Every structure is written in C-alpha cells, then in structure tokens.
Amino acid sequence: MKVIGKDIGDAIEHLHAEVESRLRVEAERSLQFESGAEHVFSNIMWQQDKVVIRLHNGVPTHALPHIVGVALEHVRQRLERYPAIQRPAENDAVDGPIIRAALRELVFAPAANHALSALALDVEWEDEQRHQALKDLLRDYSEWEDDGGDGILVWALLVYARGAIEHPTELWRAIEEDCHAKLPDVAKLGTTVARAVTERGWTSPGACLESLIAVRKLLNLETVAPILDRRTG
C-alpha cells in the first residue's frame, strides 16, 4: 500500500479497503491521501464528494502505518455515528476551538488506538515526539499558568489527562511528577478527568458519548462544547 509516494506495507491494507468501500457506499464519497499537514501528524477533511486525509511530510515511513490507521479509524468513527463535538451557534470562547479539539482527542484518540491494537503497529516514533512535546510544554509552563482558567482547562485536557490515558507508563512517570510539582491544580483536575474517561471508556459510540458528557460537566464546558449524538440527531 502506498500513501503520499511512500510504501507502508500491507498491515492496514484491509482496514483501508473497508473504510474506502464504506465511504463510497454509505457516504457517497471517495477517499484520498495528500501531504502537507502542519503541526499535527494528520488531519481529515470531509468535503462534498470526498474525504481527504492529509499527512505530515516529516513522518518517517515506518511510523506511517499507525498514523494512517488512526486517521482511517477516525473516518470509521464518523461512519459508525460516534458523537460529534460542535462549535456553539454563537458567543464562542476565545479558546473554544483548542478546548474542543483537546476534548475530542482525549476520547477519540484512545478509541482509535484500541481498534488498532490487534495489529501491533509501530508507535515508538510517535511516543517519542509526544514525549518531547510534553517536556517542552512543561518547560514553558509559566505562560499557561498566567493564562488563568482556560489555560488550566487546556493543560488538564491536552497534557495531563491525555498523557495519563495514552502515554507509555515508563515515559509518563517523569511527566506526571513534574506536572504535580509545577502545576498541582492542573494535575488534580487532569487526574479527575482521566478517571472519568477511563471509567466510562471509549470502545463504542455510547461509551464515547458518556465520557464526553462526563468531562464536559466536570469542566463546565456546556456552552463551549455542544455534543451531537449522531445516532439520534
């Protein structure tokens, strides 16, 4: 299987074929890969007649199967009517987009990784990149600390809760200790958020919905993050 001119082997070929077929039949769209994603490993654009998965040029070939697999799983999540976090109709918060993105990834990223776990894909490069990013964020933590309430929310979601759920244990331990020492309020809130998600899970549309609602309630984000249950409308 080739994406953006790179041969990534056949580990996710079956997944790709399934998602491509379902898109064509259920959503009347084609599937396309492009290079050029910035600041993220991949992003997904739903267009009128196609779904475009854009990939970062800097990802090494051996790391692409998992990154492409995660993107395909996110497409499948939408096909299977997993919930959607939406922009409020009016009066959006300044940090609304980043808070919604962090909330989305907190639940849907582990859901995608769970679905891919049986394939035993290489995630070492991704783990190293995320670990360095967490270290860099903690180095500059004072900027977030001065930001007040929304800064604490973003940190609790982006750094602590997601790290506690997804980061490899041997790498997470040092980040966890550093965060408790420098940002105890973030660590306390992030621990509560991570517990709420792990208790409810992410392996079905219903579980993801319950996790999103629980975190939204904990962080008082009802006006920032409207949630659509795609199963009921």
The strand pair at 84-85 and 227-228 is best described as antiparallel
Instruction: List, for residues 81-135, the tens digit of each pLDDT value.
Output: 999 999 998 888 888 999 999 999 999 999 999 999 999 999 999 999 999 988 8
pLDDT band at 148; cut points 50, 70, 90:
low
CB atoms within 10 A of CB 113: 18
pLDDT of residue 152: 78
Q: What is the pTM of this model?
A: 0.92
3-state helix, strand, coil in the chain (%, to 5): 60, 10, 30
Residue 93 buriedness (CB in 10 A; 0-12 / 13-18 / 19+): middle
pLDDT band at 156; cut points 50, 70, 90:
confident
pLDDT of residue 211: 98
Short-list 138, 73, 69, 65, CA closest to 108: 73
pLDDT of residue 231: 96
pLDDT higher at 127 or 146: 127
At 79 the three-state DSSP class reads helix
CB atoms within 10 A of CB 200: 18
Q: What's 119's DSSP letter?
A: G
Q: Which helix (H) or strand (E) holds 193?
A: helix 184-200
* Mean pLDDT value of segment 146-157: 69
pLDDT of residue 149: 56
pLDDT higher at 136 or 32: 32
Tokens of 183: 């940002």
Tokens of 131: 């670990």
pLDDT band at 159; cut points 50, 70, 90:
confident
Decide if pLDDT at 7 tops 90. Answer: yes
Residue 2 sits at φ, ψ, to 5 deg, of: -115, 135
Instruction: List, for residues 161-190, the tens digit of each pLDDT value.
Output: 999 999 999 999 999 999 898 888 889 999
Instruction: List, for residues 61-70, the tens digit of each pLDDT value.
Output: 999 999 999 9
The mean predicted confidence, pLDDT, of the chain is 92
pLDDT of residue 99: 92
At 42 the three-state DSSP class reads strand
pLDDT band at 143; cut points 50, 70, 90:
low
